[in-house]
Amino acid sequence: MAAEQALTANEYIRHHLTFLSSGAPKGVVDFSIINLDSVFFSVLLAVLFGGTFYLVARRATAGIPGKFQNFVELVVEQVDGQVKDTFHGTNKLIAPLALTIFCWVFLFNAMDVLPVDLLPDLARGVGIEHLKVVPSTDLNVTFAMSLTVFALIIYYSIKMKGLGGFLGELTLQPFTARNPIVKVLLVPANLLLEIVPLLARPISLALRLYGNLFAGEMIFMLLAALSLQGFSELSSVGGWLAVFAQFVLGLVWAIFHLLVITLQAFIFMVLTVVYLAMAHEHH
Amino acid sequence: MNINLTLIVQMLVFIALIWFTMKFVWPMVLGPMDERSRKIALGLAAGEKGQQELAQARERADVIVHEARERAEQIIEQAQRRADDLVEQAKGSATAEGQRLLAAAQQQIALDTARAREGLRREVAQIAVRAASKVLEREIDPSAHADLIGRLATQL
């Protein structure tokens, strides 16, 4: 805890919200810098997910499965069932994509349950000043996923319906007319009505995940800030109360958050499958 | 909070991870799962088939046991009949043998009786001759009266 430095709650939280960047950002969009912590943890978790599943899958047997194989099969079967419920075509990509999203996002989110100061303090011990450990509280990470999904939506829409069909879907509904001139006149209105939901998909995907996890992390920080003054206040009743409150509230929030992190991973997965299923459908 | 190179890098990481999952993890997990469900289906089918065969075998066994029992009854009946025949035959032959023996004995008895009667007749004739000679106090010439004696003997 940062008792020696006597941080205010404001400074503490601001410190926690700062990324380990390769440089100071010049403006809201600056492609010359990179958030090292987000990339590091997301790659680490990708390796954790991919490695675990790969090792289990490599030794998978059609006979009696072991405990790990059982677990992996449980996850795979759930995802597969979810995909089959929503998407009825044949597509080799969607199910593995859904599995990747669910597991990866879940692991991102699960980082939130680690004590909020644990890894940043350890990092400070080896001279790293800032460290954000939950990749899904980085807009870059959530947008990277949602934009990839968006690209897949566009790709499959054009692949399944043809460019004309896709553009027709965007411009010739929901208002239709027999008269070609009226049809042309209706194009702007249709385009406006169709393009907004289309663009809203990646944005809502990314912001929903980001918002939920950012808020969750923020609650943990606020709870941690309760006993910010730490050992110096342990002599007072109020200090003890603050520590006790942080423990109880932190526990309650962490348990509740287990639901949130699973649910958010699930929602991201299901919506992706739904969007891709819609991209395959003909109107 | 700003948008930076992380976005691009993360997209690449994401795509790579999807590719990895699609290429290795998914088929390698799903393969054995499908294989297992196939095996289970086969096992269930085999179990059902085995049960059917067992039922059929039981039916066959029942039929065989039934036939065997009928055969056994037939054989026992035949044997009984044969035994009865044999006893009957034995009884017949024993009766015949008895009758034969009886007839032979009767013949013998008749023969012996005849023979004894002949002896007796002779003795009686002699006694009669001796008695007659005593009465006459003189020797009767047996040769002279042989004819008379012989006639007497046959009358006895």
- Provide the phi-psi class of A236: left if phi over 0, else alpha when psi is between -120 and 50, else beta: beta
Q: From the list B1, B2, B10, which residue is nearest A39 (CB)? A: B10
pLDDT at position A2 is 41
Interatomic CA distance for residues A210 and A212, integer angstroms: 6
Tell me whether residues A99 and B21 touch, CB distance under 8 A: yes
Range of the domain at B17: 3-155
Angle of helix A139-171 relative to helix B5-20, nearest 10 degrees, comes to: 80
Chain B residues in contact with A27 (beta carbon < 8 A): 2
Chain B residues in contact with A39 (beta carbon < 8 A): 6, 9-10, 13
Chain B residues in contact with A29 (beta carbon < 8 A): 2-4
- Residues of A labelled catalytic: 204, 208, 212
**Into how many domains does chain B fold?**
1
Print pLDDT tens along chain A (283 aa).
Answer: 444 455 677 788 888 888 888 777 777 787 888 888 889 999 999 999 999 989 888 887 777 888 888 888 889 989 999 899 888 888 888 999 999 999 999 999 999 888 888 888 888 888 888 888 899 998 999 999 999 999 999 999 999 888 888 888 888 877 777 788 888 888 888 888 889 989 999 999 999 999 999 999 999 888 888 776 555 556 677 777 878 888 899 899 999 999 999 999 999 999 999 999 988 887 5
pTM, rounded to two decimals: 0.73
A275 contacts A201 by C-beta, under 8 angstroms:
yes
Q: The complex's ipTM?
A: 0.85
Neighbouring residues of A105: CB distance < 8 A, sequence distance ≥ 6: A136, A145, A209, A264, A265, A268, A269
